[in-house]
Amino acid sequence: MRAYTLIAVLILLPALLVAPLAADAPQAGKVPRIGLLGSLPPSNTSRGVDAFQQGLRELGWVEGQNIVIDYRYAEGRLDRLPDLAVELVRLKVDIIVAEATQGVAAAKNATGTIPIVMIAGSADPVGLGFIASLARPGGNVTGLSYSVGPEIVGKGLELIKEIVPKVRRVAILSNPASPVQPLFIREVNVAARSLGVQVQLLEVRGPNEFDGAFAAMATDRVGALLVVADGMLIFHRTRLADLAARGRLPAAYGTRAHVEAGGLMSYGPSFRDLFRRSAIYVDKILKGAKPGDLPVEQPTKFELVINLKTAKALGLTIPQSLLQRADEVIQ
């Protein structure tokens, strides 16, 4: 009898040990929660959020079914990002997807444990301390950087020179709150010297400084304008396009959102592509990968967008060679 009792106990023991784990199964199988931290509302990122959602669906993650997404947007007020990042941490999200340099910085300052997937996370994520290296990020941050380097800003200056070959003085509109501004400005100066143009840096911290900056451009008779990519400047893109048109200034921008709002042309990474590819990182992390082991990728798709309607209003003829290289021409 004792032998049978012992056998019964041995048979039941594994079940008894598993029973507490089974009670925890719903917790282990909870629906993942993703926090999306952006400096701009969805309409200002050239349908990037739609691309992110589509990328997730292609990988089997459907919002409202097997994944929850908490959206937090700073609406162009970058000073709100730290508080929004803290909100997401308090919600105990499983991953924070952070857009642009300021968003990544806010998320990283808010948590050292929750995985962070960056979208357009700076032209120099190593220099800013987000990651240890592109190949082995380490820590809790990975994702997609903004560009292959700050030289992308110099490309905008080259495009201006193609459209206005005789231009001698170009204004650079930049937000000094951006931590990567020194990199961009240094690269612009390098490109300016090679192209034989002078650049005039005009810093704006908010829309209340726009009128003064454009008045300075008129006073100094600059021949063109280069707007450095920045969340605050993108948020106010329509007003910037209007001011450039009023000042009869050919202007180049870092994102297509400016051109869709009436700007002349833009060259830079496709934000839609970056958002879509960020879903791959989310998928891998949800399946157990550590962010520090996932190499940071750089943009692979760049786009040149030209607004012909704006060109005609400025009395400009866009070279055919440039139109043939454009990814999109807005009539």
Same domain, 48 and 118: yes
pLDDT at 76 over 70: yes
Measured in degrees and rounded to the nearest 5, phi and psi for residue 219 equal -60, -40
pLDDT digits (tens, 9 = 90+) for 96-142: 999 988 899 999 999 999 999 999 877 778 888 999 999 999 999 99
pLDDT at 150 over 90: no
- Which CATH number goes with the domain that contains 312? 3.40.50.2300
In a domain, residue 48? The reply is: yes
Tally of structural domains, the chain: 2
Same domain, 277 and 224: no
Structure confidence at residue 3 (pLDDT) = 43
Same domain, 274 and 264: no
pLDDT at 263 over 90: yes
In a domain, residue 4? The reply is: no
Q: Are strands 141-143 and 116-119 parallel, antiparallel or unpaired?
A: parallel
pLDDT at 190 over 60: yes
DSSP for 92-159, please give it.
Answer: T-SEEEEEHHHHHHHHHHH-SSS-EEEES--S-TTTTTS-S-SS---TTEEEB-S-S-THHHHHHHHH
Same domain, 156 and 262: yes
In a domain, residue 86? The reply is: yes
Same domain, 37 and 121: yes
In a domain, residue 23? The reply is: no
User: What CA–CA distance (Å, rounded) separates 290 from 191?
Assistant: 39
Same domain, 194 and 322: yes
Q: Residue 219: which domain range?
A: 151-269+303-330
User: Helix, strand or coil for residue 218?
Assistant: helix
Q: For the whole model, what pTM was predicted? A: 0.81
In a domain, residue 2? The reply is: no
Structure confidence at residue 47 (pLDDT) = 66
In a domain, residue 214? The reply is: yes
Same domain, 187 and 311: yes
Structure confidence at residue 42 (pLDDT) = 65
Confidence band of 28 (pLDDT split at 50, 70, 90): low
Structure confidence at residue 13 (pLDDT) = 41
Average pLDDT for residues 147-153, to the nearest whole number? 67
Same domain, 124 and 255: no
In a domain, residue 21? The reply is: no
Structure confidence at residue 121 (pLDDT) = 76
Of 221, 209, 214, 205, give the one whose Cα is nearest residue 246.
214
Same domain, 102 and 192: no
Same domain, 59 and 181: no
Confidence band of 222 (pLDDT split at 50, 70, 90): very high
Same domain, 261 and 113: no
User: In one letter, which amino acid is 36?
Assistant: L
Helix, strand, coil in percent for the chain, rounding step 5: 50, 20, 35
User: Helix, strand or coil for residue 170?
Assistant: strand
